[in-house]
Amino acid sequence: MGKILAVTIILIAILSAVPIVMHTWVAPADVSVHGHLIDEQMAETMAEAGIAFLAGQILLGLFIWKFSDVKPGARIKNFPGGAMGLVIGAFLLVGTEVLALGVFGVKAWSEVYFQPPAANAMPIQVQAGQFAFYFRYPGPDGKFGPIHPELINEGTQNLFGLDQDHDPASKDDIVTAEMAIPVNHEVHLLMHTKDLGHSFYVPALRVQQDFVPGLDVTLHFTATKVGKYEIVCTQLCGLGHYNMKAYLDVMSQGDFDSWLKQQAANQ
C-alpha cells in the first residue's frame, strides 16, 4: 500500500499542476500600465512555487515508495548530509528564493503605492456604501463640493450628501452609477466609504484597495484598452456584498467627453 500511496501523491501533484500549466483558469487580461510587473512577479512565483511543490511531492512519493514495506533485515540509514545538510539547504535555497522574490516584488508594489499620481491625472471620487459604488466627477470647475453626511438621502438619490443650493462647487458635480474613464489617461481615484468597510477590485486593472471608514484613501492607475470591466467589492459588507459592483467603461477620449456631457444633463 505504500507504493500505491507514493503513486497517488505524485499523480495528484502532477494533475494539480496541469490546469496551471495549461492556463485553464487565468486572471482577466491585463489592461493596465503597471500590471505587467505584477504579472511577472506572479509568473516567477508560480515557477518557483511550482518547482518546490512538485519536487516536494515527488521526493515524498519516492521515499515512501522506496522505504515502505521494506525487508525485515534492512538497516536504518541516514539521509546523506544529515539534518545539517538539509537545514543549510533550506536556508540557502529557500532563503535566497524568498529574499529575491521579496526584493523584486518591491518594485511592483512601489509602482502602485509609492509613486505620486501624474500632474494631469483625472480626479474621480468613488464612494462605497451598502451595496453599490457611486462616482463623482468634479465638473467644469474642477472642484468637488463638500460632502454633508447628514444630507445623504437615498430616497431622493442625494448619494453624496451634496448641498447644491448652497455650495457653488457642488452645482456642477456629476454623480454617476458607472465609472467611465478615457483610455491611456491616468486616473486619480479618491476613495471613501459612506458606512463601513468595502474594497475596490478590478482584476483586469490589477488594482485592489480597501475602503476604510474614517479615512480618505487614494489610488492611481491608467487603463490601456477600451472595454467594459467590472469593479467588485471584496470586503464583506453585509447581505448585498455579492451583488455590489459597478461597471468601469474605458472609452476613447471623444466617447468619454460625450458620455460626461450626457451624464451632466441627467443630473
Partner 1 sequence: MKSLYKSAAILAVLVVVALGLLSTGVHVNAAAEGRVTGTIKLDGTAPHMRPIDMSKDPTCAKQHPTPARLENVVVGPSGGLANVVVYISQGLPASAAAVVPSKPIVWDQKGCMYQPHVAGMDVGQQLQVVNSDPTTHNIHPLPQMGGGNIGWNKSQPQGSPPFKTSWKSEEVAIPVKCNIHPWMHGYMVVVKGPYGVSDSSGSFTLDNVPPGTYTLTAWHETYGTQTQKVTVAAGKPATVSFTFKAK
Partner 2 sequence: MHDAPAHAVHQHAAPTSFIRKYVFSLDHKVIGKQYYGLALIAVLTGMVLSWLMRLHLGWVNLKIPGLHLLSASGAPGDVMTPEYYLQLMTMHGTIMVFFVLTTAPFAAFGNYFLPIQVGAEDMPFPRFNMMSFWVTFTAFLVLISSFFVGDGPTLAGWTQYAPLSAVGAVAGPGQGMGEVLWASAIAIFCVGQLLGSLNFITTTLDMRTKGMSLWRLPLSAWAWFITSVMGLTAFAVLMPACILLILDHVAGTSFFVASNLVINDQLQPHSGGSTLLWQHLFWFFGHPEVYIAIVPGMGVVSHVLIANMRRPMLSHRVIVYSMGALAVLSYMVYGHHMFVSGMNPFSSLAFSFPTLIITIPSTILVLIWIGSLYGSKLRINTASLFALGFISLFISGGVSGFFLAQPSIDIMLHATYFVVGHFHLVMAVAAIFGIFAGSYFWFPKVTGRMMNETLGKVHFWLTFVGAYCIFMPFHYLGIAGNVRRYQAFVDDYLVGLIPLHRFITVAALITGAVQLIFLYNLIHSGFRGEKAPLNPWQATSLEWSTPSSPPPFDNFGGRHVVVYHDPYQYGIEGATDDYVMQDSPAQIQSVRDEK
Q: Which of residues 112-151 bind partner 1 (CB under 8 A)?
A: 129-133
* Residue 20 contacts which entry, partner 1, partner 2, none (Cβ below 5-8 A, type-dependent): partner 2
- For the segment 178-217, give every residue that binds partner 2 (CB under 8 A): 194-197, 199, 201, 203, 206-215, 217
* Residue 113 contacts which entry, partner 1, partner 2, none (Cβ below 5-8 A, type-dependent): partner 2
Q: How far is the CB of 245 from partner 1 (least distance, A)?
A: 6
Which residue has cell 455650495?
167
> How many CA atoms, within 13 angstroms, populate the side-chain half-sphere of residue 218?
14
Does 171 interact with partner 1 (rule: CB under 8 A)? no
- For the segment 92-131, give every residue that binds partner 2 (CB under 8 A): 93-95, 98-99, 101-102, 105-106, 108-109, 112-114, 129-130
Q: How far is the CB of 176 from partner 1 (least distance, A)?
A: 7
* Residue 176 contacts which entry, partner 1, partner 2, none (Cβ below 5-8 A, type-dependent): partner 1
Helix or strand holding residue 191 (H, E): strand 187-193
Dist. CA 30–CA 204, nearest whole Å: 5
Short-list 260, 65, 62, 80, CA closest to 179: 260
Here the contacts of 114-117 (C-beta below 8 Å, separation 24 or greater) are: 115/220, 117/186, 117/188, 117/218, 117/220
Q: How far is the CB of 171 from partner 2 (least distance, A)?
A: 22
* CA-to-CA dists, residue 262 to 115, 124, 138, 139, 170, angstroms: 33, 17, 15, 12, 18
Which residue has cell 545539517?
84
Of positions 238, 252, 257, 261, contacts partner 1 by CB under 8 A: 238
The residues facing 238 across adjacent strands are none
Dist. CA 73–CA 158, nearest whole Å: 84
Does 178 interact with partner 1 (rule: CB under 8 A)? yes
Q: Which is nearer to partner 2, 172 or 208 (CB)?
A: 208
**151: number of Cβ within 10 Å:** 13
Q: Which is nearer to partner 1, 243 or 258 (CB)?
A: 243
Q: How far is the CB of 89 from partner 1 (least distance, A)?
A: 53
Which residue has cell 539521509?
79
* Residue 254 contacts which entry, partner 1, partner 2, none (Cβ below 5-8 A, type-dependent): none
Does 258 interact with partner 1 (rule: CB under 8 A)? no
Which residues in this chain contact partner 1 in the complex, by CB under 8 A? Answer: 129-133, 154-157, 159, 176-178, 238-240, 243-247, 266-267
